[in-house]
């Protein structure tokens, strides 16, 4: 690994700040270490999917799970093969499955965790989960496969 968690976090934080969709959701980074990323999605009116109940739209959670898994894979690949990627460039989501285990509670923040579970030369796999009060009571679980498209040979 070419740098420690703090440098990885700093680099990722600076990259994240520049991702418009991430900013538009209103999400922020909580933790970023090689192979793992944690984000916070504060409850906000523009995320609501059901005006009657105030529940956040599943699509907002899904979008952030995709992002968190991609970040975890990106830093996981970087840790195993330094300089093969930079940030999330060179990475493409192949597929993603989301399981919704329980409804999100209106008014409470949502935390989203992505973890890289396996890196092969061309493909990497990640798992993710979204929760509110406790990581043991997830709202949603995710599994995804990512293609490493542009290994840098610098």
Min. distance of Cβ 153 from its own copies in angstroms? 17
Q: Which is nearer to its own copies, 6 or 101 (CB)?
A: 101
Provide the mask over 4-43, with x wherever binding to its own copies is found by CB under 8 A and - wherever it is not: --------------xxxxxxx-------------------
- Of 68, 130, 136, 65, the closest CA to residue 104 belongs to 130
Residue 151 touching its own copies (CB under 8 A): no
Three-state DSSP at 1 gives coil
Task: Confirm or reject binding of residue 50 to its own copies (CB under 8 A).
Answer: yes
The alpha-helical segments, DSSP class H, found in 18-57 are 20-25
Please report which helix (H) or strand (E) contains residue 114, including its range: strand 110-119
| 47 is an interface residue for its own copies by CB under 8 A | yes
Inter-residue contact 82 to 2 (CB < 8 Å): yes
Q: Which helix (H) or strand (E) holds 33?
A: strand 28-33
- The span of 4-12, 30-38, 47-55, 75-83 binding its own copies (CB under 8 A) equals 47-55
Helix (H, G, I), strand (E, B) or coil at 39: strand
Interface residue with its own copies among 92, 106, 135, 150 (CB under 8 A) is 92
Given 5, 40, 49, 80, the residue binding its own copies (CB under 8 A): 49
Q: Are 11 and 17 in contact (CB under 8 A)?
A: no
Check binding of 85 to its own copies (CB under 8 A).
no
Nearest distance from residue 33's CB to its own copies, in Å?
19
Both tokens assigned to 147? 């293609």
- What is the smallest separation between the CB atom of 79 and its own copies, expressed in angstroms? 17
């Amino acid at each position: 690994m070419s740098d420690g968690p703090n440098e990885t976090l700093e680099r990722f934080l600076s990259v994240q700040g520049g991702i418009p969709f991430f900013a538009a959701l209103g999400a922020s980074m909580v933790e970023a270490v090689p192979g793992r990323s944690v984000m916070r999605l504060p409850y906000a009116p523009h995320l609501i999917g059901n005006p009657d109940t105030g529940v956040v739209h599943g699509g907002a959670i899904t979008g952030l799970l995709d992002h968190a898994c991609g970040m975890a894979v990106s830093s996981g690949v970087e840790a195993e093969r330094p300089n093969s990627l930079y940030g999330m460039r060179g990475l493409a989501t192949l597929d993603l499955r989301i399981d919704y285990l329980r409804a999100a509670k209106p008014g409470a923040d949502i935390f989203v965790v992505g973890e890289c579970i396996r890196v092969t030369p061309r493909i990497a796999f990640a798992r993710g989960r979204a929760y509110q009060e406790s990581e043991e009571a997830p709202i949603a679980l995710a599994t995804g496969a990512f293609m490493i498209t542009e290994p840098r040979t610098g």
